[in-house]
Structure 1
Amino acid sequence: MSVSVGIYSVPLVCEAVPQIGCGCLAKPVLARLEVHPDIAEAWLHHRGDVIAIKWLRELGVDQQVGLLRAALGGDGDSQVALVAAASSSPLLATFPNPSYWYQRETVDQLSQEEAHTIAARLVQRLSQARVPLPDGTALQCDLACALQEVLVVDEAMPIEARLARLLGVARDTFQQHLGSQALSQLDAWLTPAALLPEDAG
């Protein structure tokens, strides 16, 4: 039986770390695709803007795209499309190298990368805010671990709820390291925007 691989554009780029895919968003999508009877495997690219699907049988492009849109829950319909052969060739050249492509069981690696990037960003902003840091390295490590626990949870939740949970664990970690007296300083800048790149929005 011949297995063909299609590459499709998808809106699964991480909002907090735009250079990578969002493991939280991608995991349920990959899970839905993997159990479909016409699909052998589904993979998200590290960048988060394309998914590769190994098909078990030939389907029309409209059917393929429709199935992917359904797995995405109807989100970003206009952004879901088959990537043209010329653009997909370099992507297929790396497929399925695990350094570039992630399946449902490995996509948490993207969430770990996201957690470490956000932790570094928060510690940097903390020092810019002139909050005295007892040990920035230890704080960043603990922050990354706490954020990662939120990001790898197998639970669908709106981005606002996930940001609120991330802020909660970040605040708790800061309090453990800096003490309660630092909370008034922290609360002034520890907002959802602090988790995101400066040019976001």
Structure 2
Amino acid sequence: MQSRHVYFYLFIVVLIIIIGLGLHGFLSDKNRYQDNQVITIKKTTTSGTPSIGGSFQLINHNGDVVSDKSYTGQYLIVFFGYTFCPDVCPNTLAKFSTVMDQLGEYSSRVTPLFITVDPVRDTFQVMNDYISNFHPRIEGLTGNEKQIEYIKKIYRVYGAKSKDNNGNLDDYIVDHSSLSYFMGTGGEYIDFFNYNMKPSRIVSKIKKIIGTKK
């Protein structure tokens, strides 16, 4: 009888361990993507700064060809997303609209760039209509698939159709990075803002950075 109790308790202990391992695996999968973003940020050049950004050529939401040189002298907030995004993108752009309003005299030195990860649907006309809902200094950038893949690579961001789209060719979700990058006036990486960072905190960081470089 006693041995049965021992086996029963051993069974319970093993079951708890299995459930615990399963939960750990689930949480690890859930957070892996955000963790990978942070790991990517930590990759550095030989000078000690993260290897993020570089030369590019795209089309802005007005249909004009632009490149990294078009923004020389401006600080950039670079965010990747797409116009059909249900939550992260509109929330982030609304946040950066608030940031631009709160930057005051510093706002003229900052240009937020919203770069699509869905160039097939996000033509410059679509981007133009979408961007009009946010702060006027925010620019939307698009291009062909090769150009977008390249800029995703140099900014070390992820963007791909979700596996949960059920084969729908026109109405689909795109999984993508939610971090935003703050780039210097020469295109150099300075800092990053995570999705949950409050506008006031972003404003404070930007003012401090620009203030020290006057």
**Does the TM-score normalized on the shorter chain lie above 0.5?**
no
Q: Highest Rg: 1 or 2? A: 2
User: Larger strand proportion, structure 1 or 2?
Assistant: 2
TM (normalized to structure 2)? Answer: 0.29
User: Larger helix proportion, structure 1 or 2?
Assistant: 1
TM (normalized to structure 1)? Answer: 0.30
